[in-house]
Amino acid sequence: MDLLTAVDVIQAPLGEMLPRLSEALAEAVPHRAVAELSNCSFAPFKFRGELPGPTTADLDSLRPLVPGRGTWQGRAVMAGAEVPVVVLASEVTEPSALLVFLRTDDTPVPEEALAPAQALWDLVTAHMEGLRNEAVPATLAVSRAAAAARATTISDLGDAYGTALTSLLGVLRDRTVDDATARSRAVDLAVTALVDLRSRAELERALTEERTGDAFDRLAESLRRALRGRGVRLDLGTPGAEEGADRALPTEVASTASAVVRSAVHAMIDDQRDVHRVHIGWKVAATVLRATVRDDGPGTLSCGSLDRRRVAERLAPLGGRAEVDAVPGWGTTVTVEIPLGAPENPREDPLTVLGARELEVLGRLARGRRNREIAADLHISESTVKFHVAKILEKLGVGSRGEAAALAHEWGATR
């Protein structure tokens, strides 16, 4: 496995990363299916391969068998059947991200094959964590992947609920069992089912929600590191009970709020002079997270400073907004509001339908490059560029290069 393989996986659109991982590792770790359980805000559970596939609970049950970072091989129950599996765990995130290969035989995979597979999984996990922390607009568009992941979990819970009810009815209808025995069996089944359903629901919350206080603490630590040695005092209005510290936030909301606040802080410090103090506060109301960033600078910050840092792009998919109140001589306050629920009319990033090469072509097209220049930049023929441009227009549903360029600028493909 070479570095170009890793580049190919990381450059893939979000929905294609797992398939490309599967292809890249097919020779090193032969498998019939692969599943992922990670801290990805938008699709924490992913699966590719032969059905039936495992559930999130199946994958989570493997955590005690694997070190924080490492591998494990053996047999495990997946989708109700015991099968040989290979598990890779990356400690880049907490809890560790799992990549699980479902295999057809028990032949051990040699360590020399697992080591590069583990390295690739660590790299992919770090890349996804970066997308999560920076709230990249392309990953935020209230994506189909997020809806699919949550729908999968809901389906899992519904299946488990139906199975429990069927088992209870079977016991209660069994005429060969006396009443006392039937009641005892029914109670045992009900207790077991409730414990299982509760654990699955808790797992779903852990994958898709984050406590407000914990998210703020992560933000504060990242800002302390970024501002170290810059002579800027950081005042933190750490949320308490009244500010909703114990409220559970959707992870995409927490990640977006953190990324936008960091962008606002850097804008205040880098685009103004004489900023010595920055205050940050978070408050969760009934339906919105409100973050405020206030400095003691000259009060000259403009909305353009936030636009250059893609603040509006990050907020748009979640229906959020940011306001800049700059008072010359008194400082600047940036107020950010993000709804806790999905927007009524969510906007999906139209560029997710494009492949890595098409995005490269679109980025140069949007910067006004001609086909000949794009071909030279990418070391491909001019006819190949024309082919890519035609596919881009078709996939985006636009009729001209200008319209495609406008979408590229709006969704950040020119950066």
Token couple for 214: 């914990």
Over the stretch 214-259, which tens digit does the pLDDT of each residue have? Answer: 999 989 998 998 888 889 999 999 999 999 999 888 877 888 899 8
Q: What is the pLDDT of residue 79?
A: 83
Q: Please give the CATH superfamily to which domain 3-134 belongs.
A: PHY domain (3.30.450.270)
pLDDT at 87 over 90: yes
Distance CA 148, CA 137 (A): 19
Per-domain residue ranges of the chain: 3-134, 140-208, 211-339, 350-410
Which of the given ranges, 11-25, 177-191, 286-300, has the highest pLDDT on average? 286-300
Mean pLDDT across the stretch 181-196? 67
Q: What is the pLDDT of residue 264?
A: 94
At 375, the pLDDT band (50, 70, 90 cuts) reads: very high
More confident residue, 412 or 116: 116
Over the stretch 96-120, which tens digit does the pLDDT of each residue have? Answer: 889 999 998 999 999 999 999 999 9
At 127, the pLDDT band (50, 70, 90 cuts) reads: confident
**CATH tag for 350-410 (out of 1.10.10.10, 1.10.10.1150, 2.30.110.10, 3.40.50.300):** 1.10.10.10
275-279, 309-313, 323-327, 342-346: the lowest-pLDDT one: 342-346
Mean pLDDT across the stretch 280-290? 91
Mean pLDDT across the stretch 296-323? 88
Q: What is the pLDDT of residue 142?
A: 40
Global pTM reads 0.53
Q: What is the pLDDT of residue 43?
A: 65
At 88, the pLDDT band (50, 70, 90 cuts) reads: very high
Q: What is the pLDDT of residue 149?
A: 46
CB atoms within 10 A of CB 398: 16
40-54, 119-133, 140-154, 338-352: the lowest-pLDDT one: 140-154
Over the stretch 331-357, which tens digit does the pLDDT of each residue have? Answer: 999 999 999 875 555 556 677 788 878
Q: What is the pLDDT of residue 143?
A: 42
Q: What is the pLDDT of residue 377?
A: 87
Domain 211-339 has CATH 3.40.718.10: no
Over the stretch 155-165, which tens digit does the pLDDT of each residue have? Answer: 455 555 556 66
Three-state SS sequence of the chain: CCHHHHHHHHCCCHHHHHHHHHHHCCCCCCCCEEEEECCCCCCCEEEEECCCCCCHHHHHCCHHHCCCCEEEEEEEEECCEEEEEEEEEECCCCCCEEEEEECCCCCCCCHHHHHHHHHHHHHHHHHHHHHHHHCCHHHHCCCHHHHHHHHHHHHHHHHHHHHHHHHHHHHHHCCCCCHHHHHHHHHHHHHHHHHHHHHHHHHHHHHHEEEHHHHHHHHHHHHHHHHCCCCCEEEEECCCCCCCCCCEEEHHHHHHHHHHHHHHHHHHHHCCCCCCEEEEEEEECCCEEEEEEEECCCCCCCHHHHHHCCHHHHHHHHCCEEEEEEECCCEEEEEEEEECCCCCCCCCCHHHHCCHHHHHHHHHHHCCCCHHHHHHHHCCCHHHHHHHHHHHHHHHCCCCHHHHHHHHHHCCCCC
CATH topology match: 3-134 vs 350-410: no
Q: What is the pLDDT of residue 371?
A: 92
Q: What is the pLDDT of residue 157?
A: 52
Q: What is the pLDDT of residue 8?
A: 83
Over the stretch 51-78, which tens digit does the pLDDT of each residue have? Answer: 778 887 788 889 889 877 789 999 999 9
Mean pLDDT across the stretch 7-33? 86
